[in-house]
Structure formats: C-alpha cells, structure tokens
Chain A
Amino acid sequence: MSKKFTILLLLILFFGVYNYWIYTQSQPTTKPALSKAAFEGQQLWIKNNCNACHQFYGLGGYLGPDLTNVYSNKGEDFIKAMLNSGINTMPKFEFNEIEKNNIVAYLKEIDNTGFYPDKKATFQKNGWVIINYKNE
C-alpha cells in the first residue's frame, strides 16, 4: 500500500471518529430538546425561510436583526406584533394565533440556549474568547 493511500485512510479513519463525537457531543447535555410547540415554530421558520434575513448566533442573512435573544430583550407581545406587520422588508405574513404562539415558543427556547451578542465574553492574550453559557 502506498504512503499516500495510507495517509488518506488514516485521515478518513480519524474523520469517522471525529464525526461521531460531533454528532453525539456537540450540544451540552444540560440543554433540553425542543418542545412540541417550539418544534412546530421551527417548521414555520424553515418553511418561510426566515433565515434569509434573520440570524441566530449571527448565522443567517443580514437584512434583519439577529433573533437569538429577541424573546428576553423585546418580549412576546413585540414578537407577535412584528410577525404579521409587513414592516420595512418583512414579508406580509398571515400567521394565525396558534402559529404565532409556536414561533414565540421556538424563539423562547433558542433564547435559553445562550447569549448573542455575548457582550460579557472575556478575552485571553492568545486571542481566545471565553463565551458565557446560559443557565449553567
């Protein structure tokens, strides 16, 4: 077996182990799975491609604001009022009350996962950033 092929096989082997760790250990065990309502809210989020404009943890499109902590910063009533407002670049959605509640539940449970932007993060001399974990 050639040296190049051996390196390739070793890389793939390590990749397999690494993937297993990522798939099973990436989410801290203290974080619960989404509730049924939040799960339904997630479906609405995906179906309407809200990610095109909004972000969670800074990941997504930049036309709208990041919504990671919108629940704790703005509250349920604000979120519900915004949903069907069609304000500025927001599409004119027609969510019913149950759908609105599900989206709020989704945003509330995401809010519980952490902070973004994490303004209280601390920095180390080697360039590393220590972020804060919520409810831990």
Chain B
Amino acid sequence: MNKNKAPLLFLITGITALLIAITFGVIATIQYIKFDFIKSVLPFNRIRPMHVTGALSWILLTAIGGIYYYLNKEGYIKKHIAAPLHFIIFFLTGLAIYTCYSLGILGGKEYLEFPPVLIIPILIGWAIFATTLISAFRKGFTKKPVYYWMWTTGAIFMIYHLSEAYLWLTPYFKEKFLANTVLQWKAGGSFVGSWNMLVYGTATYLMAKISPESGVGTDKKSFFFYFLGLTNLMFGWAHHVYIVPIAPWIRYFAYLISMTEWILLFNIIYTWKKSLAFNKTIENKTVIRFLSLTDKWVLINLFVALLISIPFINYYTHGTHVTVAHSMGTTIGINTTILLASVSYIIQNEISAFNFKPVLKGVSLLNISLILFLITLLIAGASRSAWMYSLNSEVFASMQYKLQGVYIALLIFGSMLATSILIITIPLLNSLIKAFRRK
C-alpha cells in the first residue's frame, strides 16, 4: 500500500463524517420545531449522538490523517503498517457505533453514548497513533518543533482522558452521583483539550511550513504557549461544573486557571501573519484564507469563552444554548477552519493544478451563516435563562412554544451553514478521492 493511502482515507472518512454530522444536525433542529418529526423512527436520544459523533469524528479523523501525512512527508515513518491498521480499527468501530445508535443500543455517558465495550478498539487505535508519534520523535525530542510536542502529548492525553471517562464503570464512581458528574466533565473537558493539541499543532505546522522564517513552532513564545495550553488541558475543565455542589476548592481552582487557551492560538497566528512573505501568500492562498478565518473566529470565541468563564456570567449562561454557541463557535469557527486549511494544504501537495475557486465560494456564506447561527443560539440561550430565573411558574413546554420563531431561525441559518459546508467540502472530497485512486 502506498504510504499516503491510509492518511488520505482518514481525510475522506473525516469529511464524510462532517456531512453526516450536518445532516443529523439539521434533522435535530427540525425536531425542535415539529416535535414528532420522524420521532418514531429516530427519536432525539439517537439523533443527538449521531450528530455529535459525526462532528467529533470529523475533527479527530481529519487531524489524525493530516498528522500521519505530515509524518510521512517529513520522513519520520519507516514502517507503514500503523496508519492502515489504525484506520481499519476506527472505521469498523465507527460502523459499529452508528449501527448501535440506529438500533437504539445505547449505554454510555454523554458524548460517548455507545455501548462501553466499543471504547476498547478506540483506545487500541489511539495507542497505535501515540506509539507512532513517540517512536518518530524519540530521538532528540527536546529539540523538536513545538507541533511534535503538541501532537504527541495530545495523543497520550487522549488515551488517558478516554480511559478516565470510563472510570464510571467502577463501583466507586458508579454509586456516587456528584463524584461521577465531576469525573465525566473533567474527562470530557480534557478530551477537548487533547484534540485541541492535535488541531492547534496542525495549525502551527502549517504556519511553520508556509512561513519558516517566522520562527513559529521553534521560538520560546511557541513553547510558553504550549505549556500554557497543556496546563489548561490538565486543569482548565472545571468551569463546566461551577454550579454543581462539589468541593469548593475545585471551583476556586477552576476560576484561577480560567480560559487562557484561546489567547494561545491567537497569539501564534497574529505573530505569524505579520511575517508572511508575499510570494508565499500567492502559493498558499486557500490555506492562508482558512487560517485567517480561524484568526477572526478565535477572537470572537475568545470573547465569549472569557465571559462565560466568569462565575457570575456563567451562573446565567450555564444550562442554556449560550454553551452550545460557544462549543459550535469553536468546533466550526476554529477547529473546522484549521482542518480545512490542512486538507487544502494536502490537496495542494497531491494535485498541483487543483482549482480552489469553487471551494472559496463557500467561505463567505460560511462566515455569514455561522455568525447568524451563533447570534440566534445566544438569543435562545438568553430566553431560556430568563425563563429559568424568572419568578413566574410558566411550564417548560410553554416556554419552548414561545421560542418557536427562534428555533425556525436556527433551522434557516443552520441550513445555510450546512450548504456552505457542502460547497466547501464536496470539491475537496472529490479531489481527495481522485488523489487516493491515483496512488
């Protein structure tokens, strides 16, 4: 098998997962408006995991595929068995997960709702990936650019936090509701931190390759922000449980750590953009367009993230769609734009004459629809918060009926967002399939 076939398969499956995610995202929104829409076939308790698993798979598979590709490009992988084996394990596990969801065979915690036994092949896949990274960087690890540190620690912490998420199966946690809640949100928060290491590492790699003179990835500042990001990964999860009556020191510590993670990426991109040479800008127009987009969305999300990490504001936004706005803003605005830059960079390498114009047509629509979508989510969140803390005793269903107009707007802007993603990803998917067939 050609050494880049498996990385391309990861990318193809990653984009397919994104298309699955947006399909189930739109269906889920319809159920907010028409309550019994396909409820007998696919109720919301199955649709939501299908949507979330699709989105997570898009981020993880595309990040992993890109990293395998870059490791091959840099000549770090000698035996090319790991990536194909890893892909087969993840692909078959993904099929098993969606089969379980379709049949209503559930049994896991939030975001990992599949039967717990399926975490075993997932952990094996991550172990293969982490082993590949460790063996590639073992020699002279301390002198390697920061993105190798980010990828390796991201993969190792992914194994740790995925395992940690399953400690609820032990009697100690299973029987303690509050300890179990803390455990789930600790593991989940750090799980996101771990994939951010993989994705931000990819962004740093691209910036370093496009503009090597910038010093991105090797200077002291890059490492300072890497350690800051790692500190957030380890200790910066507890803003999720500010409101849960757990031991107070956990909540104080969370406030102290706060959310500095967004500053990390913004600073690196800001420094890098200043050093871009003109000829490089022409060569890597699409990659730079996506990374510049990341830059803007980091700013917006930085603002929202910092606000909702203040306990007083968190008190009112927690448990509402404001949290969804934050998570979708980061997964689409930041993670997705970085991964699209990575896919574009790889396609540029594989098909030198590839025409990116059709792809770029979708970018403006993506921006506009994402802004409108997030504003609508913020309105929905503010309305729910007002209902939660109001003194009248209006029932939940009545509040939901009143918000129908907001949910219709969510469906419209969500559909626009889905369309923009289709415009961007279909040409990329076709070119990846073409590149795969050529190998």
Binding site for B on A (CB under 8 A): 2, 4-5, 7-8, 11, 15, 18, 22-23, 25-28, 31, 33-34, 39, 42, 46-53, 55-66, 88-89, 91-92, 109-110, 113-119, 121, 123, 127-129, 131-134
CB < 8 Å neighbour of A88 from B35, B176, B179, B181: B35
**5 extra interchain contacts, Cβ-Cβ under 8 A, other than A26-B250, A114-B245?**
A4-B142, A15-B234, A47-B107, A52-B47, A117-B389
User: Taking CB as reference atom, which chain A residue is nearest B252?
Assistant: A128
Residues of chain B within 8 A of A27, CB atoms compared: 176-179, 182, 246-247
**Do A22 and B182 have beta carbons less than 8 Å apart?**
yes
**Do A26 and B45 have beta carbons less than 8 Å apart?**
no
Complex CA gap A25/B179 in Å reads 8
**Do A52 and B44 have beta carbons less than 8 Å apart?**
yes
**Do A58 and B319 have beta carbons less than 8 Å apart?**
yes
Interface residues of B in 299-350 (CB under 8 A from A): 310-315, 318-321, 324
B219 at the interface (CB under 8 A from A): no
Complex CA gap A88/B183 in Å reads 32
Q: Is the interface of B mostly helix, strand, loop or mixed?
A: helix
Complex CA gap A47/B45 in Å reads 10
Interface residues of B in 135-190 (CB under 8 A from A): 141-142, 149, 153, 167, 174-179, 181-183, 185-186
Residues of chain B within 8 A of A34, CB atoms compared: 174-177
Determine how close the nearest CB of chain A comes to the CB of B437; give it in whole angstroms. Answer: 39
**Do B242 and A129 have beta carbons less than 8 Å apart?**
yes
Interface residues of B in 251-290 (CB under 8 A from A): 255
**Do B244 and A114 have beta carbons less than 8 Å apart?**
yes
**Do B45 and A52 have beta carbons less than 8 Å apart?**
yes
Residues of chain A within 8 A of B107, CB atoms compared: 46-47
Complex CA gap A109/B313 in Å reads 28
**Do A52 and B49 have beta carbons less than 8 Å apart?**
yes
Contact flag A92-B40 (CB < 8 Å), given A46-B108, A121-B315, A129-B311: yes
Complex CA gap A131/B40 in Å reads 40
User: Taking CB as reference atom, which chain A residue is nearest B42?
Assistant: A91
Interface residues of B in 106-141 (CB under 8 A from A): 106-110, 113, 141
B368 at the interface (CB under 8 A from A): no
User: Taking CB as reference atom, which chain B residue is nearest A91?
Assistant: B43
Residues of chain A within 8 A of B436, CB atoms compared: none
**Do B312 and A28 have beta carbons less than 8 Å apart?**
no
Complex CA gap A109/B250 in Å reads 23
Number of residues from B at the complex interface, CB < 8 A: 68
Q: Is the interface of A mostly helix, strand, loop or mixed?
A: loop
Determine how close the nearest CB of chain A comes to the CB of B20; give it in whole angstroms. Answer: 17
User: Taking CB as reference atom, which chain B residue is nearest A136?
Assistant: B245
**Do B240 and A59 have beta carbons less than 8 Å apart?**
yes
User: Taking CB as reference atom, which chain B residue is nearest A118?
Assistant: B243
Contact flag A28-B185 (CB < 8 Å), given A52-B44, A60-B110, A62-B321: no
Most B Cβ at <10 Å: residue of A33, A62, A64: A62
User: Taking CB as reference atom, which chain B residue is nearest A116?
Assistant: B243
**Do A62 and B142 have beta carbons less than 8 Å apart?**
no
Residues of chain B within 8 A of A116, CB atoms compared: 243, 319
**Do A33 and B321 have beta carbons less than 8 Å apart?**
no
B48 at the interface (CB under 8 A from A): yes
B231 at the interface (CB under 8 A from A): yes
Determine how close the nearest CB of chain A comes to the CB of B306; give it in whole angstroms. Answer: 11
**Do B243 and A57 have beta carbons less than 8 Å apart?**
yes
Complex CA gap A88/B174 in Å reads 31
User: Taking CB as reference atom, which chain A residue is nearest B168?
Assistant: A46
**Do B45 and A91 have beta carbons less than 8 Å apart?**
yes
Residues of chain B within 8 A of A8, CB atoms compared: 153, 227, 230
**Do A89 and B315 have beta carbons less than 8 Å apart?**
no
**Do A133 and B45 have beta carbons less than 8 Å apart?**
no
Complex CA gap A15/B109 in Å reads 24
Determine how close the nearest CB of chain B comes to the CB of A134; give it in whole angstroms. Answer: 7
Complex CA gap A23/B250 in Å reads 11
Contact flag A51-B110 (CB < 8 Å), given A15-B234, A26-B182, A59-B319: yes
